[in-house]
Chains A and B, each alone.
Chain A
């Protein structure tokens, strides 16, 4: 549990600035690690689809180099921005801003996941994305014998754009919880595991339950967002950090009920349409 010092309404004049890159494990750190890992895995699956499509159609060397270069740039962004944010932004302001961003971002993910789970929005189809990407790339000018700039650029752009969301999650969760090291480690672990699976199967990961992972990440982001923005504006959560898993459970229960209710309603509508067609 964190000390009550962090729950005071404003920063103490003589309070030392919090440090980063100290790996601390408590209840909020565990939820943070899971959230960052799942978010990173979801985004890396999407990035992997693009890298594999570039590798298959334009050659593996350029595709892998493009993907690796993007990961290096993303790592530099985290390393440069993370400590600067913690050093220069007052903790309560950081919590309100980061909490607000996480709240909106988490609600967007959760909304999308609920609509996909209930069939009101089509699920993310990695097979279709892969096929379209290969078709687009094969239609471009023929690749040269050495490095292929098109393959490199497509892989770099795919990994970078998908990775920017991960960088924002790592920076927001990591800096606010003063656990940037743990957040970065969780994201890197997810990237390595997804890449390893990609190497083994050498194809897009269409079988991964991406929507379920997205729903779990959405729940955690909304919970962190509520907790930190609340703390930043003066809310004293009962149980301090223990409120985070309670919020995850509460939002999870509501999401479950909403999904069940919408599925039941959809089934009723389908039966009604079926009966009307028979009549």
Chain B
């Protein structure tokens, strides 16, 4: 298997490139949005299974809005 200068094989380099692509795509410079997505899905799942589906569909957009506003405010401070 051909090796690169850092000694990695071709499949290893492809895997690394694949991982980097998805990392940049989903996390990139806004890790707070990735974490927010996990929290939104987790809370919505708990509400849908444990409380009621009405609570889940009310909470989900509210959490999405909170995540957007928090991330914009963070971006404004950084910018």
> Chain A interface (Cβ within 8 Å of chain B)?
96, 100-101, 103-105, 107-108, 110-111, 114-115, 118, 120-121, 168, 222, 226, 229-230, 233-238, 243, 247, 250-251, 254-255, 258, 262
A120-B75, A258-B69, A258-B72 as given contacts; A251 in contact with B64, CB under 8 Å: yes
The B interface is mostly helix, strand or loop, or mixed, namely helix
For residue B37, which residues in chain A have a CB less than 8 angstroms away from its CB? 100, 103-104, 107
A115-B61 in contact (CB<8A): no
5 sample A-B contacts, Cβ–Cβ < 8 Å, listed by A number? A105-B26, A222-B64, A235-B56, A235-B57, A262-B72
Bound-complex Cα distance A237 to B69 (A): 23
Q: What residues on A are CB-neighbors of B71 within 8 Å? A: 107, 111
Q: Residues of B contacting A96 with CB < 8 Å?
A: 41
Contact B41–A234 (Cβ < 8 Å): no
Most chain A beta-carbon contacts within 10 A, residue among B28, B49, B71: B71
Tell whether, in the assembled complex, residue A226 and residue B33 are in contact, meaning their CB atoms are under 8 Å apart.
no
The verdict on A108 contacting B30 (CB below 8 Å), with A100-B41, A233-B44 known, is yes
- Indicate if B79 sits at the interface (CB-CB under 8 A): yes
The reply to whether the CB of B53 lies closer than 8 angstroms to some CB of chain A is yes
How many positions in chain B have a CB within 8 Å of any CB in the partner chain? 29
CB A114 to nearest CB in B, in angstroms, measures 5
Most chain A beta carbons < 10 A, residue from B30, B40, B61, B72: B72
The interface residues of chain A lying within 8 Å CB-to-CB of B26 are 101, 104-105
Whether B72 and A108, one on each chain, are in contact in the complex, defined by CB atoms closer than 8 angstroms, is no
A104 touches B33 (CB 8 A): yes
Tell me which residues across on chain A come within 8 A of B69, comparing CB atoms. 254, 258
Docked CA distance A103–B64 (Å)? 8
The 0/1 profile, CB within 8 Å of A marked 1, for residues 24-66 of chain B is 0110101001101100110011001100010011001100110
Which of B30, B56, B75 sits near A121, CB closer than 8 Å? B75
Complex contacts, A103 vs chain B, CB 8 Å = 37, 40, 64
* B67 proximity list for chain A (CB < 8 A): 107
Q: Report B-chain residues with C-beta under 8 Å of the C-beta of A107.
A: 30, 33, 36-37, 64, 67-68, 71
Given A104-B33, A235-B60, check contact A114 B53 (CB 8 Å).
no
CB distance from A21 to the nearest CB of B (A): 26
Please measure, in the bound complex, the distance between the C-alpha atom of A247 and the C-alpha atom of B44, giving whole angstroms. Answer: 16
Distance in angstroms from A8 CB to nearest chain B CB is: 13
| A236 contact from B28, B40, B53, B72, Cβ within 8 A | B53
Q: How far in angstroms is the closest Cβ of chain A from B17?
A: 12
